[in-house]
Amino acid sequence: MENWADFFPYFAMGFKLIVLGIAAFFAIKWHVDQDRLAKEKKNNTPSA
């Protein structure tokens, strides 16, 4: 590869996959944590 422009798409795609993978992990983690908090809150409320 003689020019940086020849290498750039490979670098950009790798960087994009890493960033999207991390974002997906934290999005799933956030939703699981919210579900867990909702279930704990539901179980801790006294029933009448």
pLDDT in tens, 5-47: 999 999 999 999 999 999 999 999 999 999 999 999 988 876 6
Whether 7 and 1 have beta carbons less than 8 Å apart is answered as yes
Q: Which pLDDT belongs to residue 34?
A: 97
Q: Which pLDDT belongs to residue 8?
A: 93
In this prediction the pTM is 0.72
CB neighbours of residue 11 within 10 Å: 10
Give the integer Cα–Cα distance in Å for 4 and 18. 21
**What is the number of alpha carbons within 13 Å of residue 45 lying toward its C-beta?**
7
Q: Which pLDDT belongs to residue 45?
A: 72
Q: Which pLDDT belongs to residue 2?
A: 81
Q: Which pLDDT belongs to residue 4?
A: 85
Cα of 43 vs its chain's centroid, Å? 28
